[in-house]
Amino acid sequence: MGEALLAQAREEAQHMLAAAQQEAEVLMQATEEEAQQIVSAAISQAEAEAKLEAQRRIAAAEVEAARVIIRAREAVIQQATDRLVQQLHALPHKPDYVTVLEQLLREAVTGLGRPELYLQVRKVDCPLVTEEWLKQMGDELGVSLHRHPEPVDISGGLIVSTPDRRLTFDQSFNALLHRHADVLRAIMAQVLWGPQQANVKEAQDG
């Protein structure tokens, strides 16, 4: 995602995940209790068996308990990520949506580094991209900006390209989410579990 939206995602994650944190604690408590029951059951059953078999069963139970906890955490992170995606897709309906477009446009212009650029937006967003707005942003960024006459089928954001379309900078919401999925997950993990446990989870995934 663009740097501005990543910062916004981090800020929104703090608010949105407050409820998820409470849900997560309840879920994790229940999950850890379930995991402990798995281990305890293995230990009880193992008391009447040979020592090697007992160790095998306990080890297998501990592995299964760890898997249960990981699955629970994954479910919470996915739920939190889904909420953030919903918030992102709700941005076009907010009064300051044009500010989001400006942020995305600045990043695209910087990334492309060309003197003349065309941008495409959703049909419903075309009224926001006026000639006055294009001139204002063009003067600020030192480029010549034009709106492509045909709208684009995206959920929000914009797509910027050179006149010949050989270079394109996709700043649509779907592209942003796709490009920065790992970063979003890292933000969610850190908010939910803290940096140390999030790093442990990354290491396990790697």
The per-residue pLDDT for 198 is 47
CA distance 4 to 94: 16
Looking at the chain, the whole-number percentage of residues with pLDDT higher than 90 is 35
Does residue 41 or residue 136 have the better pLDDT? 136
Does residue 194 or residue 143 have the better pLDDT? 143
CA distance 90 to 31: 33
The per-residue pLDDT for 57 is 67
The per-residue pLDDT for 62 is 75
**Sheet with strand 116-120: strands edge to edge:** 144-147, 116-120, 157-161, 168-172
The per-residue pLDDT for 82 is 79
111, 171 Cβ separation under 8 angstroms: no
> For 73-109, what is each residue's pLDDT tens digit?
777 777 777 777 787 788 888 888 999 899 999 999 9
> For 111-122, what is each residue's pLDDT tens digit?
999 999 999 999
Does residue 66 or residue 122 have the better pLDDT? 122
DSSP label at 125?
G
The per-residue pLDDT for 203 is 46
The per-residue pLDDT for 98 is 93
- Concatenated DSSP letters of 128-152: GS-HHHHHHHHHHHTSEEEE-SS--
Q: What pTM was estimated for this model as a whole?
A: 0.62
- What confidence tier does 54 reach under pLDDT thresholds 50, 70, 90? low
- Measured CA to CA in angstroms, residue 127 lies from 23, 93, 98, 131, 162 at distances of 42, 14, 11, 10, 22
pLDDT exceeds 50 at position 200: no
Domains and CATH numbers, the chain: 3-92+188-205 (no CATH), 96-166 (3.30.2320.30)
Residue positions counted in the chain: 206
> For 3-31, what is each residue's pLDDT tens digit?
655 665 566 556 655 665 566 566 666 66
Dig out the tokens for 123 from the structure.
């049909």
pLDDT exceeds 80 at position 132: yes
Neighbours of 51 (CB within 10 A): 8
pLDDT exceeds 60 at position 197: no
CA distance 16 to 192: 11
Neighbours of 50 (CB within 10 A): 9
